[in-house]
Each structure stands twice: as structure tokens, then as C-alpha cells.
Structure 1
């Protein structure tokens, strides 16, 4: 599901964790009311309960069997405790009911600010998945976490892009489903002339959304290149830190003259990777500006 980034993180987490309840709410389900205060019982209600036919029959059996008075009292007290305990259990609202009520209230309060999987048709789900994959590539990258990209703007702008794309795809899916249902019932020849422009409108809208997604994928591609250069640079730097130990071993073994070219090449590789990383980051920044436009 996709949630409007304007929704608080706490509420968004609650909605995401209860998507199954949100689907039921969409279909008209309502949670049972929650009793927040236990009703007071009249002391005489317990006496009335003891006066019911089953309890009177139990007392008669005990009297006829000549049970010792002490045993009669103990057994009677046990029955009363069981009945009181059962009444208390029935009066206490289960935690699940309270949780369902909280989810229901948040869903009603934030109606229109979240989208469920069933809001998208097959084509829309595929496009949305591409957008989410591209956004995830950027936000999960080390170059973003290290601040080599504009991590703050990414954290704000990319979720907003995801929500806008999802919102448009949900509207497109709804109209497309209605349109297909109409065509499935058959269309008169004079209506066909009106249907064609509507179909072009749907196709144009999908193409516009797809263009947004492709821009996101282009940005993610530049970030992926920067990420690869970042990891390669880290490996080279790690190897360079070990060079003194290798040089010491080569000097002691008398093979240092043969290894000098390889060591120099390692240093050159580090420089190449550093420049490649900078170029990749610059390209990612340019793609970001294009995405904003």
C-alpha cells in the first residue's frame, strides 16, 4: 500500500500493519462497539442468578444427598465465584476489539490519504512497482546515506513522487476498469465514436505517468553507478591501507622491484575510481534536477 507522506509516521505504521482491516473497512465492515466503563451490577442480580431453576435443582440435590453443611457451603461458594468470574470476563472488552476500533477511526480520519493494492489494476501495479524499485534504489544507497547526494531532499521529494504517481495510477485504474466494464456490455455504433477519444485520454494519462517513472529510473540508474564506484573505491582504499605490509614483505624477500608497477597501478586505480565516483554523483545531481522539473 502507499500512504500520503503528510500522514504521521506513527499513523502510517499503524495503517501499513493493518492493511487487511482497511480492505474490510472498504467493503463496509465496522468493528463492534467498545465498552470503556464496566457497568455496575445490582447486588440483588446475583441472588436472582442463584434463584434460577438450574441452581434451585442443584440445591435440592445437595440437600437430599445430606452433604455436610461445611461441604455445602464450600461448594456453593465455589459456584458463586465461578459465576462472578464469568460475568467479569463477559464485561471486559478484548484487546483485539479496542485495536480494531483504533484502526477503524484512523482509517476513517485518513480516508483518501492511503491506497491499497486493490486500488490498482494489473498494468498500474506494474508501473507502481517500477517507481517503488527506483525510489528504493536511491534511498537504500550508501552514497545517499553518506550525504554524497542531496539526502534531505531525497527523503522529502521521493516519497512525494511515489504518492503522486500512486494517486494518478489509482484514478487511472478506476476509470479504466469502468471503461472496460462498459465495453464488455457492448457499445452501439454511434457511441463508438465517443469511446475512441476516451481511450486515447486513458492512454495519454498512462504515458504521462510512465514518463515520471522513467525519470525516476534514470535518476536511480545514476545513483547505482555512483554506488558501484563508491564500493569499489572503498575496496581500493582498504587495499591501499595494507600496502605497507605488502611492501615490507616484498623488501624482505628481495622481490620489491618486480612489484613496483603493480603497486603504482593500484594507486592509479584509486584515483580513477575517485574521479568516476565524482562524475557519477554529478550525473545523479543533474538527473535529480531534471526530475524536479
Structure 2
């Protein structure tokens, strides 16, 4: 079974623009954590326009050529040459006063933010296979809620979702990272062999790891139940919209049926459509209410 792919998880207290930078640079963060430091960039020389020395050297030649052209039938060409030379001189003057702004090298910017926010982000390498699977489940459940139309339309508590769910993701990820580290240490200990006298101590530690994992999984299952209620509300929301769209078209169908003399046949179908709309409205309300209950359970 392939390992669940997870990305960089960032403490929701980190500013969004910095969090986005960290999430987008997982390979670079792995290198930074391993001790790599981006090389200091030497200051770049300012961009230069045409050389001042070259301009000074060319000036007598240009003036002499321009004088000859002005005294010949090619006088218009002389004016063109004069205009071009003046334009180059003006460019040079502008370049002398130009302030060149340079962006810091990308790697250096990521490095500085990684050092500044050390401990407030977790990398895929922080999770073993079991932990990555559990974290992936939590992230999918959270994504289902935050991307739903019922959340965007305010049928759920969108502002609280936007705060609580990222906090839940970070807490789950933080616990799973600690659990992964302890499991790795425990497996390394067992791989070296355990004396009979130590076995009695090892068993309670293994129970502690199992109990901790069960507690985190229970938290994730609560997120999944909330997401399931939201999914049901989402289905009812879209079905209700489709029914309402059909109801809006009913007068045109009724008109057609009346004109064709077949209106008596339409009554049961129209009544069923109305009943379906009412039923979906009730289903949507129940689903949203259940989602609110699941949300309160998350808070508790």
C-alpha cells in the first residue's frame, strides 16, 4: 500500500503569506533542516547603460560626422544622427541616477523564514506511514468542509470553521509527529534486542503509544463525522437548487400542456416535484443541524 502523501503543515498562527511560502518549499526545508545553509550572495554590480568613456570618445566623431551631413544633401540624416545621440546621452544620465532594487535570493528568503518559525511547521518526513495515513484522513475531512458550498453560503459557521479546523489539523499533525518519533525510537530499541528484565517495562510503553494513537484517531474520526454531515448537506443543497430551477420552469411546461390539451396528465408529476422540493428543504435543514451538532462535539 503506497504511503499517504502529506505536505508541509504549518501552525495556523503563522502569517498566511509566510505559511504559503513554507508549504511551497518542502524539498528546500528538508535540506535546511539537515544543516544546509544557502550561500551568501555577493552584491551584484548595478546595471549600467552605455559607458561614459565610450560616449566621450564618440562625441567628437559624431559631431564631425553630423557637421558633414548637415552641409551635404544628406542634412536630414544629420538631424536623425543628432537626435539618436542625444537620446543615448539621456539614457546614460537616467541610468546614473537609477536605483536598482533586487529581490533577495529565493533560497535565502525561505531559509530565514524557516529559522524564524522553527518548530511551527512540520515536514512530510516527520510522519511515519501510519501517521501519514491518519493525517491524510484529517486533511481530507477538513478540506471537504472548507471547500463546501454550504460553508461558503453561511449555512455552517464559516468564520469558526476557518479558525477551528486549521487548529485541529495542526494539533493532529503535532501529536502524530511526536508519536512517529517515539515509535521510531521504540522500534530501534527493540531492533537491538530487549533483555527479559526490560520486557516488563516495554509493554506499558507500547500501550501508551497505542492509547495515544487511538486518541488521535478518535479526534480524526470526529472530523470525518463532521465532514460526512457536511457532505450530506452539500448533496441536499445542490439537489434543492436543481429542484427550484425546475419549479421556476413549471409555468412554461404548464402552458404547453394546457395548449396541447394534455394538462390533466401533468398534475401528479407537478405535485411530486413540489413534494420533492419540500422534502429536500427538510433534509437540508436536518443535515445542517446535524453538522452543527458535530461541530459542537469537535469544540468539546
Q: TM-score, normalised by structure 1?
A: 0.79
| C-alpha displacement of 1:218 | 0.7
Match of 1:245 among 244, 252, 265: 252
- Give the match's secondary structure for 1:176: helix
Q: CA offsets per residue over residues 178-229 of structure 1, 9 Å max, x none?
A: 1001100111111111111100000010000011001001111111110110
Q: Which residue does the alignment assign to 1:79?
A: none
Alignment of 1:133-152 (within 5 A): 133-152=140-159
Q: Which residue does the alignment assign to 2:226?
A: 219
| C-alpha displacement of 1:35 | 2.7
Q: Distance in 2 between matches of 1:212 and 1:34?
A: 46
Does residue 196 (structure 1) correspond to residue 203 (structure 2)? The answer is yes
Does residue 209 (structure 1) correspond to residue 220 (structure 2)? The answer is no
Q: Distance in 1 between matches of 2:105 and 2:282?
A: 58
Match of 2:114 among 89, 107, 112: 107
Q: Which residue does the alignment assign to 1:269?
A: 276
Q: Which residue does the alignment assign to 2:134?
A: 127
Q: CA offsets per residue over residues 43-85 of structure 1, 9 Å max, x none?
A: xxxxxxxxxxxxxxxxxxxxxxxxxxxxxxxxxxxxxxxxxxx
Match of 2:31 among 10, 24, 27: 24
Q: Which residue does the alignment assign to 1:287?
A: 294
Q: Which residue does the alignment assign to 2:167?
A: 160
Q: Distance in 1 between matches of 2:143 and 2:44?
A: 46
Alignment of 1:53-68 (within 5 A): none
| C-alpha displacement of 1:13 | 1.0
Does residue 169 (structure 1) correspond to residue 176 (structure 2)? The answer is yes
Q: Distance in 2 between matches of 1:225 and 1:210?
A: 22
Q: Distance in 2 between matches of 1:160 and 1:139?
A: 13
Q: Which residue does the alignment assign to 2:238?
A: 231
- Give the match's secondary structure for 1:33: coil
Q: Distance in 2 between matches of 1:250 and 1:205?
A: 66
Q: How many residues align?
A: 239
Q: Which residue does the alignment assign to 2:16?
A: 9
* Structure 2, gaps ≥5 residues long: 1-7, 47-101
Does residue 178 (structure 1) correspond to residue 185 (structure 2)? The answer is yes
Q: State the Cα RMSD in Å.
A: 1.6
